[in-house]
């Protein structure tokens, strides 16, 4: 495929992914509402433009990394969106939008002879920086063969299926497990601390035993026990992902009683702590209820 690609959304995830493509020799046309984010890529040779339609008129393949389904829809289909571009033929959405939105956008873009590929990613900011993300791609198999060499620069690439939305379903299932691990581990450690155990020692034991999770292995040592709460993913985005998962599960006729309780906890975190807080700050909500702090002695 051509090495001239577009990239829209240069935030905490999109910025590192775009940077890796630039380092791999791709000529990027980029767009973001934050000037400082654009400046970091132009320093690597990227060409900045002011709107999605300009990106879509400069590159046949455009990647998106955006925070919400509504923003993805506006960028793809809005007045100055990708659908109005003169050159774009493939739109790869690395965001988390849910299968319903992915299908809607794919149908609308197909009417413009543009193929939508939903390819959400998992692995956090560290994964985006190091190129170790899980990339969950849904598109026709021949197209996957064309896109895989490029997407390998941002992580391990999986062909999830052929239909739009299948990658999104995989991503929401993954993020539900991640969100559940965080709150469940916080509650378990809060119980231990309230009973006299040391939080740091608890995490060491959990990681040596059968209870270890991504939360105990990564989130606790890096952001919760040190009380920095700076893992790199917003509370509002985690709540959005869990809520999306429940909405999609309901539409599919799949009951999720555990997930419903997890969603309610993240909603409280969103409402009481704020959507801009790091998602690891959910520990503070559980601390308040238990009357303890999850920190090393």
Residues 178 and 214 both lie in one domain: yes
Is residue 254 one of the residues assigned to a domain? yes
Query: What is residue 295's three-state secondary structure?
Result: coil
- Provide the residue range defining the domain that includes 141: 4-164
Residue 76 falls inside a structural domain: yes
- 103 lies in the same domain as 151: yes
69 and 118 co-located in one domain: yes
44, 112, 152, 171: the catalytic one is: 171
CB burial of residue 28 (10 Å; 0-12, 13-18, 19+) = buried
Q: Are residues 14 and 142 in the same domain?
A: yes
Residue 2 pLDDT = 60
* 171 has catalytic annotation: yes
How would you write the pLDDT of the chain (297 residues) with one tens digit per residue? 568 999 999 999 999 999 999 999 999 999 999 989 999 999 999 999 999 999 999 999 999 999 999 999 999 999 999 999 999 999 999 999 999 999 999 999 999 999 999 999 999 899 999 999 999 999 999 999 999 999 999 999 999 999 999 999 999 999 999 999 999 999 999 999 999 999 999 999 999 999 999 999 999 999 999 999 999 899 999 999 999 999 999 999 999 999 999 999 999 999 999 999 999 999 999 999 999 999 998
Same domain, 159 and 12: yes
Q: Say how far apart CA 120 and CA 160 lie, in whole Å.
A: 11
The model's pTM is 0.92
Tell me: do 178 and 261 sit in the same domain: yes
Residue 296 lies in a domain: no
Query: What number of other Cβ atoms are within 10 A of residue 134's Cβ?
Result: 16
> Are residue 147 and residue 181 in the same domain, yes or no?
no
Confirm whether 297 is domain-assigned: no
Residue 118 falls within a domain, yes or no?
yes
Residues 36 and 154 both lie in one domain: yes
> What is the pLDDT at residue 297?
86
- 63 and 92 co-located in one domain: yes
Residues 156 and 31 in one domain: yes
Q: Do 131 and 192 fall into the same domain?
A: no
In a domain, 295, yes or no: no
CATH of the domain at 122: 3.40.50.720
Together in a domain, 46 and 143: yes
Query: Residue 190 class from Cβ within 10 Å (0-12 exposed, 13-18 middle, 19+ buried)?
Result: buried
pLDDT of residue 1: 54
SS (H, E, C) 44-102: CCCEECCCHHHHHCCCCEEEECCCCHHHHHHHHHCCCCHHHCCCCCEEEECCCCCHHHH
Gap between the Cα atoms of 176 and 238, Å rounded: 9
Among residues 97, 131, 164, the one where a domain terminates is 164
Per the structure, the count of domains in the chain is 2
In the listed set 147, 164, 181, which residue is the last one of a domain according to the structure? 164
Q: At 213, which CATH number?
A: 1.10.1040.10
Out of 164, 190, 222, a domain closes at 164
């Amino acid at each position: 495929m051509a090495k001239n690609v577009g990239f829209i959304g240069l935030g905490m995830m999109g910025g590192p992914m775009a940077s890796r493509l630039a380092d791999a020799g791709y000529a990027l046309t980029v767009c973001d509402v934050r000037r400082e984010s654009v400046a970091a890529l132009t320093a690597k040779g990227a060409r900045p433009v002011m709107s999605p339609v300009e990106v879509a008129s400069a590159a046949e393949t455009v990647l998106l990394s955006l925070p919400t389904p509504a923003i993805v829809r506006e960028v793809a289909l809005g007045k100055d969106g990708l659908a109005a571009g003169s050159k774009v033929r493939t739109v790869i959405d690395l965001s988390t939008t849910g299968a319903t939105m992915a299908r809607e956008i794919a149908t609308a873009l197909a009417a413009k002879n543009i193929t939508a590929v939903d390819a959400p990613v998992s692995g956090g900011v560290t994964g985006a920086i190091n190129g170790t993300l899980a990339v969950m791609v849904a598109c026709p198999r021949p197209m996957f063969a064309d896109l895989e060499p490029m997407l390998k620069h941002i992580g391990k690439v999986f062909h999830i299926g052929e239909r739009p939305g299948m990658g999104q379903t995989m991503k929401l299932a993954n993020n539900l497990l991640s969100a559940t691990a965080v709150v469940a581990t916080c509650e378990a450690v809060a119980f231990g601390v309230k009973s006299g155990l040391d939080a740091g020692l608890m995490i060491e034991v959990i990681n040596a035993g059968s209870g270890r999770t991504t939360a105990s292995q990564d989130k606790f040592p890096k952001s919760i026990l040190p009380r920095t709460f700076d893992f790199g993913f917003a509370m509002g985005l985690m709540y959005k992902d869990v809520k999306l998962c429940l909405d999609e599960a309901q539409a599919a006729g799949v009951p999720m009683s555990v997930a419903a309780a997890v969603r309610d906890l993240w909603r409280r975190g969103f409402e009481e702590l704020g959507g801009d807080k790091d998602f690891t700050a959910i520990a503070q909500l559980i601390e308040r209820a238990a009357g303890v702090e999850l920190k090393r002695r």
